[in-house]
Amino acid sequence: MLYLEYFTLTLVLSTLFALGGVGSATALVPLLNMMGLPFGLSKAIGLFVNTSTTIIASIMNLKRKVLDVKFTLPLAISLMIFAPIGAYLSTYVDEKIMKWMLAGFLFFSASMMLFGKKEAKTAYTKKWILYLIGANVGIFSGMVGVGGGSLILPLLIMLGYDAKKMAIAVSFIIPFSTFSAFLMYANTIQIDWILLLITAIAALLGGFIGNRIMHFKLDSKQIKKIIAILLYLISFKLMYNLIWG
């Protein structure tokens, strides 16, 4: 029954977050931990789930020829290098500090989705900026066990890039960071491989369903508002547990 609960939770979150163009680990990691899974295992599953979901979205975007691969390479390379470093550093940081970092990340992501810059103006085109963003997000996302899409996307929009184009780009680059960071966690903690398989299948289904709906059915602005509210609730619940739990 627990496996069925984890499957259902992952399927719902992966579908919902795919509608917003980001991976579901942002919400999945704290929720799995609240359901009783160890924090390290929750982060590993979240990273693998994000890999599964965003790979499906990337394949679909490549088929539609809407992905600018050249633009995404600096971000993909820097994320792939620095996300495992963040995962390694997390083994030396107190778990409570990590959870506070995750709570802050959730609050920031929700705020950017609701109140962040909406229209692209003049974009910064220097590649070193993309490498710098990828490196910093890679370290942070590797530490807290999320893909980093919810952090990269608002940063790129703030720099003047088109929101829809960046959502497509982020879905392509996230697997580079999430899978490399997952491998680091797999070498340091005990993995429940059955649970990992179940959540990966749910994430693949959710990524496919969400990506199809995002392109053909729903208003992405409304979806992002729903995601933002969900992230706020999880953030507040996590902070409540840290203070009074």
Conformational region of residue 22, where left means phi above 0, alpha means psi within -120 to 50, and beta covers everything else:
beta
Mean pLDDT, the chain, integer = 83
pLDDT single digits (tens) 190-227:
899 999 999 999 988 887 787 777 666 566 677 778 77
Say whether pLDDT at 108 is over 90: no
Amino acid at 108: F
Q: What pLDDT is stored for residue 245 in this prediction?
A: 65
Q: What pLDDT is stored for residue 237 in this prediction?
A: 87
Conformational region of residue 67, where left means phi above 0, alpha means psi within -120 to 50, and beta covers everything else:
beta
Q: By C-alpha distance, which of 121, 104, 106 is closest to 158?
A: 121
Say whether pLDDT at 165 is over 70: yes
Q: What CA–CA distance (Å, rounded) separates 93 from 70? A: 35
Say whether pLDDT at 6 is over 90: yes
pLDDT-derived band at 2 (thresholds 50, 70, 90) equals confident
* Residue 232: both structure tokens together: 């706020």
Residue 197, helix vs strand vs coil: helix
Residue 148, helix vs strand vs coil: coil
* Residue 157: both structure tokens together: 């929009």
Q: What CA–CA distance (Å, rounded) separates 150 from 146? A: 9
Q: What pLDDT is stored for residue 215 in this prediction?
A: 64
Q: What pLDDT is stored for residue 85 in this prediction?
A: 94
Q: By C-alpha distance, which of 207, 158, 212 is closest to 178?
A: 207
Q: What pLDDT is stored for residue 105 in this prediction?
A: 87
Residue 162, helix vs strand vs coil: coil
- Residue 212 and residue 63 in contact, taking contact as beta carbons nearer than 8 Å: no
* Residue 158: both structure tokens together: 């703030």
